[in-house]
């Protein structure tokens, strides 16, 4: 109807404009005929003047009419087009397989919804960031916190829009000191930019650089390592650059720093890849060493671990121009254990449980094409529900971690009910509860009376896993039985690739899923999952943690699940006891801070995790 109405109005405008032009033409022809008959005589001259005045008035009237019609068309057309574009598109148009195009960003990935996998769409791509117009449903508009960002960045729209999708409890604003530090770092990065405006590259003698060398693990490990490198770069005043030849992060994420690029120019590659490791540099006493390649992966030598000794930082690496950073871990907790770094970092983060949250929301923002897909999925399938729940299922110690196991399904359901992530299914029901369209739902009145069908609450559940069996089980459970309290539950899954690979297409899906999970009101993640760590940290969420490790290890003594003590990721391999730094002088204030804010991880007893200190 909207399209038809727009066509009708457009047709009326075109007819009106044609009629105005025709009137002008007829007037001109009439005046020309009258002028051709006027010859000689004073009275005829004045008649000619009157005729010319009539002609001029007629032309001016026509011009005014055409301008008015044009302005009306400019005002009306966008109204119709925006209402037309914001209608929920068919699922096969909304999310198309990204493997169907040579350009991975031209089409979004598959989304499974109520068990139907979508096909391809050859029509116009609806996900252009310039076309995207978000009109939240009345339910969403009523419940979403009002957020007015001063950040307007057309090159990275997610920078100013990300907080629109989080409730007020999880917006986690940065401290004033951290904002000031980020602003100063951005200016330093611009001053030390390796790319000049004319396309050439140069190194200023007063600048030092940290080159992020992307690893081969999954996206979760890479993002954890990248944020750790950024925290170290801020503490040491090094310009963070990334070698885009390996991996996908540079193609997934926006340029984070205003007025400068974080891409490593090709001419500087040998500076890092050919550099000595930390042990060799220490043997040389860091004499004539301009670059060092640091190994902070989970397999490290004792010499590699000396990176965290204060003497290595202050007497060795401080004057090295280039540091190559290789890691697959989240080493920020270890940085707080170095006295000189602690004195810088602790004032920036009054709540240490939000370090990853605040740095990631600054550094790891999706590029516009990916952000537009995230918005489309969220607005079409999740936003209209009053409660959004994320369930991330990953069995790290299982050879085929996506194969359905009834014990895993039982654990998911029991823990979700225990921590009130999901409403209790009405198992006694023989017929499924009638599903009310979620766009018509309103919050139930707080009267204590039983909700009617017109005021049911709703929950949208996003399941992320390599395979779809866990999603299917949960979806069928609520379709067949409904819920005891009448809550309408919709279950969604965005991808189910079966196996993890190193493709760009899968990396795009993974980044989308991480961001969508981070928008949840409630979240459950899997023990030892770096993917889950990034989602909970980005969202500032304390998740319920599914202890799948206990199942895989046949450990019947451990809990099936627990509530996370922090939104921070876990550092699995801190190597604290093996360090040989000697006697490190540490203030009593720092010692008390560490005792309060750094704890063993709940899913790795030898790991370390930053916490708020509140029990």
CB 254 within 8 A of CB 155: yes
What is the phi/psi pair of residue 358, to 5°? -75, -35
Distance CA 414, CA 407 (A): 10
355-363 and 530-539 helices cross at what angle (nearest 10)?
Answer: 90
pLDDT of residue 574: 95
Give 133-140 contacts, CB < 8 A, sequence gap 24+: 133/82, 133/85, 133/86, 134/86, 134/375, 134/379, 135/82, 135/86, 136/379, 136/383, 137/383, 137/384, 137/439, 138/439, 139/384, 139/385, 139/386, 139/438, 139/439, 139/441, 139/442, 139/443, 140/383, 140/384
pLDDT of residue 553: 78
CB 391 within 8 A of CB 462: yes
Strand order across the beta sheet in which 488-493 lies = 116-117, 112-113, 488-493, 458-464, 387-392, 522-526, 544-546, 561-563
43, pLDDT greater than 60: no
Least confidently predicted of 79-83, 237-241, 355-359, 385-389: 79-83
CB 611 within 8 A of CB 352: yes
Looking at the DSSP bridge assignments, the partners of residue 293 are: 277, 324
Please name which of 600, 577, 571 lies closest in space to residue 302, comparing C-alpha atoms.
577
**C-alpha distances in Å from residue 201, one per residue of 131, 193, 603:** 36, 8, 46
Domain ranges of the chain: 2-85, 167-363, 373-577+604-610
Distance CA 51, CA 49 (A): 5
CB 329 within 8 A of CB 298: yes
Confidence of residue 66 (pLDDT cuts 50, 70, 90): low
Residues 6 or more apart in contact with residue 46 via CB below 8 angstroms: none
CB 314 within 8 A of CB 263: no
CB 182 within 8 A of CB 362: yes
CA 293 distance to own-chain centroid? 30
pLDDT of residue 68: 56
Dihedral, CA of residue 142, residue 143, residue 149 and residue 152, to nearest 10: -70
Distance CA 362, CA 227 (A): 10
Looking at the DSSP bridge assignments, the partners of residue 240 are: 210
Confidence of residue 51 (pLDDT cuts 50, 70, 90): low
The pTM for the full model equals 0.74
Residues 130-142, mean pLDDT to the nearest whole number: 33
Alpha helices in 437-503 (DSSP H): 469-481
Give the pLDDT confidence of 301-350 residue by residue, as tens digits: 999 999 999 999 999 999 999 999 999 999 999 999 999 999 999 999 99
Q: Which helix (H) or strand (E) element contains residue 391?
A: strand 387-392
Please name which of 363, 338, 339 lies closest in space to residue 249, comparing C-alpha atoms.
363
Give 275-281 contacts, CB < 8 A, sequence gap 24+: 275/322, 275/324, 277/303, 277/304, 278/303, 278/304, 278/306, 278/307, 278/312, 279/303, 279/304, 281/316, 281/320
pLDDT of residue 61: 65
Please name which of 78, 155, 164 lies closest in space to residue 378, comparing C-alpha atoms.
164
Count the neighbouring beta carbons within 10 Å of the beta carbon of residue 320.
17
**C-alpha distances in Å from residue 52, one per residue of 27, 48, 226, 253, 612:** 11, 6, 76, 66, 84
Least confidently predicted of 111-125, 209-223, 413-427: 111-125
Distance CA 391, CA 475 (A): 13
CB 45 within 8 A of CB 104: no
Measured CA angle at 317 (ends 311, 321), to 5 deg: 165
Distance CA 109, CA 99 (A): 8
What is the DSSP track for 204-231?
-TT--EEEE---SS-HHHHHHHHHHHHH
Distance CA 394, CA 595 (A): 31
pLDDT of residue 401: 54
Cα four-point dihedral sign 376, 380, 384, 385: negative
Tell me whether residue 178 is exposed, middle or buried, using C-beta atoms within 10 angstroms of its C-beta: 0 to 12, 13 to 18, 19 or more. Answer: buried
What is the DSSP track for 7-61?
HHHHHHHHHHHHHHHHHHHHHHHHHHHHHHH--SSHHHHHHHHHHHHHHHHHHHH
169, pLDDT greater than 80: yes
Distance CA 228, CA 402 (A): 29
3-state secondary structure of 516: helix
pLDDT of residue 584: 86
Give the pLDDT confidence of 80-107 residue by residue, as tens digits: 333 333 333 332 333 333 333 333 333 3
| Mean of all residue pLDDT scores within the chain | 78
3-state secondary structure of 336: coil
Side-chain half-sphere exposure of 330, counting CA atoms within 13 A: 29
Cα four-point dihedral sign 301, 307, 310, 313: positive
Residues 248-265, mean pLDDT to the nearest whole number: 95
122, pLDDT greater than 60: no
User: 358-379: b or e for each residue (b if 16 or more CB lie within 10 Å)?
Assistant: bbbbbbbbbbbbbbbbbbbbbb
Confidence of residue 116 (pLDDT cuts 50, 70, 90): very low
Share of the chain above pLDDT 70, in %: 68
pLDDT of residue 496: 84
Measured CA angle at 357 (ends 183, 174), to 5 deg: 40
């Amino acid at each position: 109807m909207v399209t038809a109405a727009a066509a009708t109005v457009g047709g009326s405008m075109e007819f009106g404009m044609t009629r105005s032009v025709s009137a002008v033409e007829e007037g001109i022809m009439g005046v020309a005929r009258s002028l051709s008959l006027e010859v000689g005589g004073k009275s005829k001259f004045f008649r000619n003047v009157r005729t010319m005045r009539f002609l001029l008035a007629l032309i001016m009237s026509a011009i005014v009419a055409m301008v008015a019609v044009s302005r009306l068309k400019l005002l009306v057309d966008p109204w119709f087009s925006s209402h037309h574009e914001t209608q929920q598109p068919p699922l096969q148009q909304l999310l198309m397989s990204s493997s169907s195009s040579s350009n991975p960003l031209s089409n979004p990935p598959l989304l499974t919804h109520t068990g139907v996998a979508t096909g391809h769409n050859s029509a116009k791509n609806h996900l252009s960031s310039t076309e995207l117009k978000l009109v939240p449903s009345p339910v969403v508009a009523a419940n979403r916190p009002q957020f007015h960002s001063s950040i307007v960045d057309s090159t990275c729209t997610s920078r100013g829009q990300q907080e629109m999708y989080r409730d007020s409890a999880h917006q986690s604003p940065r401290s004033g000191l951290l904002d000031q530090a980020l602003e100063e770092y951005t200016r330093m990065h611009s001053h030390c930019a390796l790319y000049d405006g004319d396309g050439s590259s140069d190194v200023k003698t007063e600048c030092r650089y940290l080159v992020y060398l992307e690893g081969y693990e999954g996206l979760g490990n890479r993002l954890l390592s990248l944020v750790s490198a950024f925290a170290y770069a801020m503490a040491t005043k090094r310009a963070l650059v990334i070698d885009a030849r390996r991996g996908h992060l540079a193609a997934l994420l926006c340029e984070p720093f205003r007025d400068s690029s974080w891409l490593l120019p090709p001419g500087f590659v040998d500076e890092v890849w050919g550099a000595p490791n930390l042990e060799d540099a220490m043997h040389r006493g860091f004499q004539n060493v301009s670059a060092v390649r640091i190994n902070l992966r989970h397999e490290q030598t004792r010499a590699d671990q000396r990176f965290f000794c204060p003497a290595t930082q202050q007497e060795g690496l401080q004057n090295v121009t280039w540091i190559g950073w290789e890691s697959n871990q989240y080493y920020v907790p270890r940085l707080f254990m170095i006295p000189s770094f602690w004195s810088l970092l602790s004032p920036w983060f009054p709540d240490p449980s939000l370090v990853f949250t605040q740095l990631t929301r600054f550094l790891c923002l999706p590029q516009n094409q990916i952000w537009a897909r995230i918005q489309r999925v969220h607005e079409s399938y999740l936003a209209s529900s009053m409660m959004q729940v994320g369930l991330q299922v990953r069995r790290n110690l299982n050879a085929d971690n996506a194969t359905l196991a009834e014990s895993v399904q039982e654990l998911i359901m029991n823990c979700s009910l225990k921590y009130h992530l999901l409403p209790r299914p009405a198992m006694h029901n023989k017929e499924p509860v009638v599903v009310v369209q979620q766009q018509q739902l309103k919050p139930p009145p707080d009267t204590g009376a039983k909700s009617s069908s017109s005021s049911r609450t709703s929950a949208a559940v996003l399941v992320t896993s390599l395979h779809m069996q866990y999603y299917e089980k949960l979806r069928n459970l609520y379709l067949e039985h409904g819920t005891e309290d009448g809550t309408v539950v919709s279950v969604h899954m965005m991808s189910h690739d079966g196996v993890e690979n190193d493709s760009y297409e899968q990396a795009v899906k993974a980044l989308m899923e991480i961001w969508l999970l981070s928008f949840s009101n409630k979240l459950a993640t899997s023990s030892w999952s770096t993917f889950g760590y990034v989602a909970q940290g980005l969202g500032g969420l304390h998740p319920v943690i599914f202890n799948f490790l206990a199942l895989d290890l046949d450990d019947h003594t451990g809990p099936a699940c627990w509530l996370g003590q922090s939104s921070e990721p876990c550092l699995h391999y801190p190597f604290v006891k093996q360090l040989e730094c000697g006697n490190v002088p540490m203030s009593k204030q720092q010692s008390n801070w560490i005792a309060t804010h750094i704890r063993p991880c709940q899913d790795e007893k030898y790991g370390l995790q930053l916490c708020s200190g509140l029990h």
